[in-house]
Amino acid sequence: MALDALGIVIGTSLPARYAGYLSGIALLAIGWGGFGIAPDLWLAGPLSVIGGMGNGVVIVRFRTMMQRETPPHERASTIGFAYAVTFSMIVAGQVAVVPLSNALGQRATFTTAGTIFALGGVVAALCWPSRVLEPARIEAVTEASPVTAR
């Protein structure tokens, strides 16, 4: 958990030009999927940091995209809906992981999580307009924002 938290701190600190939304999902897939197939703790630790970095990148980029791409009059309801879905999925994931882990084992459960993240990245790449996912655009908008100029 501490290594994952370290990765989140690193991921939230990365500039947008180096870490876009899809690269965050890829880091999640590599970290969690690799964690499941790691032969020992010495490899699992760095993979946990990588997964945490992906989580941190996704958190920041998702929030940035929601704020920048949603019209002001729809922002509160859109962000509220997105968080309701997100937190519902967190609960559903915690409920589903116990029987999955009991049936498949912990390694297979982590590998399955990595596969789900990879598939989610493919879906995101296919469904979202490229202008939203471009790291350079996110950074340019963020740097021009009066909130970040303070």
For 27-54, what is each residue's pLDDT tens digit?
888 888 888 888 887 888 898 899 899 8
Q: Looking at the 3D structure of the chain, how many domains does it have?
A: 1
pLDDT at 130: 60
Least Cα distance to 25 among 69, 71, 57, 1 occurs for 57
pLDDT at 68: 81
- Kindly write down the DSSP assignment for every residue of 20-40, as one continuous string: -HHHHHHHHHHHHHHHHH-SS
Q: Does residue 116 belong to any structural domain of this protein?
A: yes
Q: Does residue 118 belong to any structural domain of this protein?
A: yes
Q: Does residue 149 belong to any structural domain of this protein?
A: no
pLDDT at 132: 53
Contact assessment for residue 16 and residue 138, using Cβ atoms and an 8 Å cutoff: yes
Q: Does residue 150 belong to any structural domain of this protein?
A: no
pTM of the entire predicted model: 0.70
The DSSP 8-state label assigned to residue 72 in this structure reads G
Helix axes 2-13, 21-37, angle to 10 degrees: 160
Residue spans of the chain under pLDDT 50: 138, 142, 144-150
Q: Does residue 99 belong to any structural domain of this protein?
A: yes
Least Cα distance to 54 among 100, 1, 8 occurs for 8
pLDDT at 134: 56
The whole domain housing 71 covers 2-144
Q: Does residue 14 belong to any structural domain of this protein?
A: yes
